[in-house]
Structure 1
Amino acid sequence: MKSFNFYNITNSAFKKLGFSCAFTFAIIASNTLAEDKLPTQFTDVTLDSKLKIDFEPVNDMLDANVFNMGPSRRVNAKRPRASMGTKLKRAISASTHNEANRFTYELIQKNNHEDKVTAIKLYLESIPAKTSLKQYNRAEQLAYWLNLYNITVINEIVKRYPRIRLKKLLTGSNSLLDEKLINIDGIELSLNDIHHDILYKNYYKNPLIIYGLYQGNIGGPNINKKAYTGKNVYRLLKANATEFINSNRGTNTDMFSELEVSSYYARNADYFPDFEHDLRSHLLQFADEKTSKKIDLADELTANINNWKVTDLYGSDRVFGGGTAPGAAGMLGSGADPSLTQKVMEDANMGKGVNLTDTQISRLRQLMKVRAKNIGNTSVTVNDLDDSEDDN
């Protein structure tokens, strides 16, 4: 089992990163993506190509930093109790508060590893200069674009962390998604260029694509513990679609005559030309029995489910007073995924300088217990923590 130090990337991977950094910094951006026509290097393909892209650095980072929460059980979170010394409570979106996989932004920041994330992004940007994308098949290209998109999102959130809410970053006239953050072969790209131009046009407006685009917020599709590859990309996209649609983030099955769905679908309306009809048909492809019945019976559809909070592990919860408890978190455990908590245990319980607040400890405890129930693992151990605050 790998230790939690994503920075346990292999020597060969680091050599790749070092090369890419030097190369990418040498690029002079001279072009931007045309609005009406994609450059041929982003459209051409070798259909029978067997070439593979090395996504090892991406895979190592995700494996060490993504906490898999398992499939949703559609259980609402209880409102958190007030921190010691105050009567103020934190506002949460109860139906989605404990959903979505988490990424350990707080630990990357604590260990000053922001530059490692940037290095992986630069490595991905450098790949087409060594082997043109058109020499790969469509599945390999899709894996490339999704990995590049997701690592870029993570890199931008890392720069801004501990920002709690991401709505202004993801929507509006100054959206992060519209910034030219990526440079490939001297062509500047935004995340929306990849999403709504390259992927939309090259993959025949396939709605599965949207589930591979991590947004950084709880209300969006999951970030996976594995990098996308040409071999696994469609399987992982279908798994993400199934998880999202059958979660409180994707659909609300409690309403009587109305079907509430994620606002993420409205932001991807170009994938559903006849929005309500096409979206219903799409949802039914991946919905479980209960969700399917709700979709069939609902008179109307409203895209209004949101949770803009960042998908961190524990660090962004606002703290109203309360002290720190550096040792209590050391007894948190997760039998099926010990690599994630190992770092927290080491830092909090072995004198490495991490002091967790009562609020942060409580949040860790909640996520561990919810995850154990989602996955069916009953071996989670939580000691020295008050059992009165149980989310489920």
Structure 2
Amino acid sequence: MWKAYLVFASLTVLSCAAAASDFVLPEAWQGEAQDSTITISYSDLDFVLDSAVLMSGPPSRKKSKASSATVSTRLKNNYNTLTTNAGNRIMFEEFKKKPEMAAVVSKIRASLESVPAEIPLNSLSKKEQIAFWLNLYNVVVIDEINKIYPKKDLEDFVTGKDGLLTRKLVNAGGVQLSLNDIQYGVLQQKYPDDVLVIYGLYQGYIGSPSIRKYAYTGANLNRSLQFNANDFINTNRGTYPNGKTFRVAGFYQRNASYFPDFATDLRSHLREYLREDEIPLLDEAQTLVADINDWTVTDIYGTSRNYGGGAATNDAALLGAFAQGETMAGSEEVANLELMASTVQAKSVTYGRFSADQVQKLKELKFNHENRGGVVTVTDLTEAEAAKKTESGQNNDKSGQ
């Protein structure tokens, strides 16, 4: 019988959850409407992600070949051969070359930040709320990386004392939040048992969960998070069997609050998604070693220089999976800035993320919320409509008496 051991490969302070533990949820964010039919539209975000995200393919344990110098130079690229091929990528290069594209991302961010001012979030279902927070979190990450790209190593940028995760970068309906506040103060506080949420939090570097080619929604949430968990756990950036030890991502160390009895709980979690032939390797390993980290930005080619003017020599690298230059997948859609801008503009209008028939109901919900001391009693739009008809009928009966 194995004994549960865990080795932290660094002295990273596990304070991210504690730092956000004092965050107080606004009343309008507490709870959810289980049967709510309200949905948020993310067609603009879908357009951007579908255009800018490149899928890395099925999970694989294949390592990259080590970088070698090209003719006429002794210089070569430095990357982690274990993890460099893993995870989806974003064309940050295109955002850098075309500032108007980066501006579109900023507009989507601002539009999402305005949603909590338009509707009490607790009038949404649980899945719809989680999808909203994941989308907002991920858009903020992309927007902030656009500002510092082509920075290659994101460790200090992400985890530094005043880094991406801890700064109050988000204004959600007038409430100032950090990304850690979203993860720990909102999502984990409300849904402490939903560990899959961590796989929806894209943080911009290879060692974090992948960005998707589409926005999260209440309808696709479970399927998408399970897909991301499977992808992360079965690629080398998430886990790596290594004899008597089983290497895991430092990402799990930084999310230890989701695994109270860390080694035991993490083993149990990994077994749910690990490929079947590797489960015995996990069970037999005496020690979990949290030492897999790759802080490289998830771009396509911008931070991988070609020294000596030669072409890339790493035939196992991610670039080999995609066409390069202007023929790269998605470039046609990305270049269509007019369509993208008009789509975003449509969402920038008040209540632009909701269908026309929902707008009036949302305004009523907001009015009720503001005039009942923050208590929202409507839990289902269909039910609310039926109640109105019943009340109207009763009034007609009274007037006829």
TM-score, normalization: structure 2? 0.72
1:54-69 matched pairs, under 5 angstroms: 54-69=41-56
The answer as to 2:59 corresponding to 1:99 is: no
Q: Does 1:229 align with 2:208?
A: no
Residue 164 of structure 1: aligned partner: 152
Q: Which residue of 2 aligns with 1:313?
A: 300
The whole-number CA distance in structure 1 between the counterparts of 2:286 and 2:68 is: 38
Residue 85 (structure 1) shift: 2.8
Cα-to-partner distance string for 1:324-367 (whole Å, 9 max, x where unaligned): 99xxxxxx8859xx9843639x99xxxxxxxxxxxxxxxxxxxx
Other-structure match for 2:349: none
Equivalent residue letter for 1:221: P
How far 1:90 moved relative to its partner? 1.3
SS in 2 for 1:315: coil
Matched to 1:293, the amino acid is P
Q: 1:322 aligns with which of 309, 312, 320?
A: 309
Give, as a single letter, the amino acid of the residue that structure 2 aligns with 1:179: R
Name the amino acid aligned to 1:143: A
* CA 240–94 in structure 1, closer or farther in 2 if over 3 Å, else same: same
Q: Which has the larger radius of gyration?
A: 2
- What is the alpha-carbon distance in structure 2 between the residues aligned to residue 283 and residue 45 of structure 1? 29
Tell me the residue number matched to 2:117: 129
Aligned to 1:38, the other structure's residue is in SS state: coil
Report if aligned partners of 1:64, 1:339 keep a CA contact under 8 Å in 2: no
Query: Counterparts of 1:220 and 1:291 in 2: how far apart (Å)?
Result: 21
Match for 1:219 among 198, 201, 207?
207
State how 1:368-383 maps to structure 2 within 5 Å: none
For residue 71 of structure 1, what is the aligned residue in structure 2?
Answer: 58
| Distance of 1:324 and 1:69 partners within structure 2 | 21
Q: Which runs of 4+ in 1 moved over 6 A?
A: none
Q: Deviations over 1:214-253 (max 9, x none)?
A: 0100111010001000000111000100111111011112
- Report the equivalent of 1:116: 104
Q: Once the two structures are superposed, what CA deviation does each residue of 1:244-267 show, in whole Å capped at 9, x if it has no partner?
A: 1111011112x1100110000000
Partner of 2:34: 47
After the TM superposition, which residues 145-164 of structure 1 pair with which residues of structure 2 at under 5 Å, given as runs? 145-164=133-152
Question: Taking structure 1 as reference, are residues 95 and 236 closer, same or farther at Cα in structure 2, changes over 3 Å only?
Answer: same
Q: Per the alignment, do residues 40 and 83 of structure 1 end up closer, same or farther by CA in structure 2, a change over 3 Å counting?
A: farther
2:271 corresponds to which of 257, 261, 284: 284
Alignment correspondent of 1:294: 281
Distance 2:321 2:294 in 1: 27
Give 5+ residue unaligned stretches, structure 1. 1-32, 326-331, 348-392
The residue that corresponds to 2:380 in the other structure is none
CA distance in 1, matches of 2:282, 2:321: 38
Between stretches 187-196 and 314-323, larger displacement belongs to 314-323
Residue pair 1:43, 1:198 contacting (<8 A) in 2 also: no
The answer to whether the aligner puts 1:195 opposite 2:196 as a matched pair is no
Please say if residues 72 and 246 of structure 1, whose CA atoms lie closer than 8 Å, have aligned partners that are also in contact.
yes
Q: Which has the higher contact order (CA 8 A, sep 6+)?
A: 2
Report the Cα distance in structure 1 between the residues aligned to 2:86 and 2:246, rounded to whole angstroms. Answer: 19
1:204 aligned residue (180, 189, 192): 192
1:240 aligns with 2:228: yes
Inter-partner Cα distance in structure 1 for 2:311 and 2:78: 21
8 A contact 1:38–1:197 mirrored in 2: yes
Secondary structure of 1:74's aligned partner: coil
Q: How many correspondences in the alignment?
A: 306
| Alpha-carbon distance in structure 2 between the residues aligned to 1:131 and 1:249 | 38
One-letter identity of the residue aligned with 2:236: N
Unaligned stretches of 5+ residues in structure 2: 1-19, 313-319, 336-401
Deviation of 1:181 (Å): 0.7
Separation in 1, partners of 2:89, 2:114: 28
Deviation by residue 1:133-164 (Cα, 9 ceiling, x = unmatched): 11111000000000000000000000000000
**Deviation for aligned residue 1:186:** 1.4
Label 1:278 to 1:152 Cα distance change in 2 as closer, same or farther (>3 A). Answer: same
Q: Tell me, what secondary structure is at the counterpart of 1:54? A: coil
Quick check: 34-43 or 150-159, which moved more?
34-43
Q: Distance in 2 between matches of 1:39 and 1:225?
A: 31
Going from structure 1 to structure 2, the CA distance change for 1:68 and 1:141 (only over 3 Å counts) comes to: same
Quote the sequence identity (%): 41
What is the 5 A alignment of 1:9-20?
none
Q: Residue 204 of structure 2 contacts residue 298 of structure 2 at CA under 8 Å; is this kept in 1?
A: yes
Q: Aligned partners of 2:177, 2:246: CA distance in 1, in Å?
A: 36
* Secondary structure, counterpart of 1:176 in structure 2: coil
Q: TM-score, normalised by structure 1?
A: 0.74
Q: Distance in 2 between matches of 1:286 and 1:99?
A: 17
- State the one-letter code of the partner of 1:245: I
CA contact (8 A) 1:64 1:340 kept: no
Secondary structure of 2:169's counterpart equals strand
Q: Which amino acid aligns with 2:258?
A: Y
